[in-house]
Amino acid sequence: MSGGRYGVELILDMHGCDPKTFTRDSIKAYFEELCELIDMQREDLHFWDDVGRPIEERQTSPHTQGTSAVQFILTSSIVIHTLDQLEAVYINIFSCKEFDPNLTENFSKKWFAASSCSARFIDRN
């Protein structure tokens, strides 16, 4: 990084997505292929969802029902939140290693079959 910045962060808000892509298997494969594409070294992967929870403890709100995951990478992390009822995916990719935000956005939109995407790419100091 140059110019006194620590890293960069890409923020993707995607809507009109295919909820069939919101599974743990699909999200794991997304992380694997994305990290290969943008040359990031994957580390630990952690999920938070209702898998294995009793029915009465499962999330039902449109703003909480879905799968969240953190894919740690050597240079920071990729965080994803999928919302089944809203057909939305929210992704934050933060890294002190440069990556191509346009390539990342296009890959992500295609993976989740998003009909719309709002992207912001910011410097972190």
DSSP characters over 8-29: EEEEEEEES--GGG-SHHHHHH
| Residue at 97 is within a domain | yes
- CB under 8 Å, gap of 24 or more: what pairs does 54-63 form? 62/86
Average pLDDT over residues 103-123: 98
| Residue at 2 is within a domain | no
Domain tally, the chain: 1
| Residue at 1 is within a domain | no
Decide: 90 and 14 in contact? Cβ < 8 Å. yes
Helix (H) or strand (E) holding 95: strand 88-95
| Residue at 56 is within a domain | no
The whole-number pLDDT of residue 94 equals 98
The pLDDT tens digits of the residues spanning 3-60 come to 678 999 999 999 999 999 999 999 999 999 999 999 999 999 999 988 888 888 878 8
Q: At 45, which CATH number?
A: 3.60.90.10
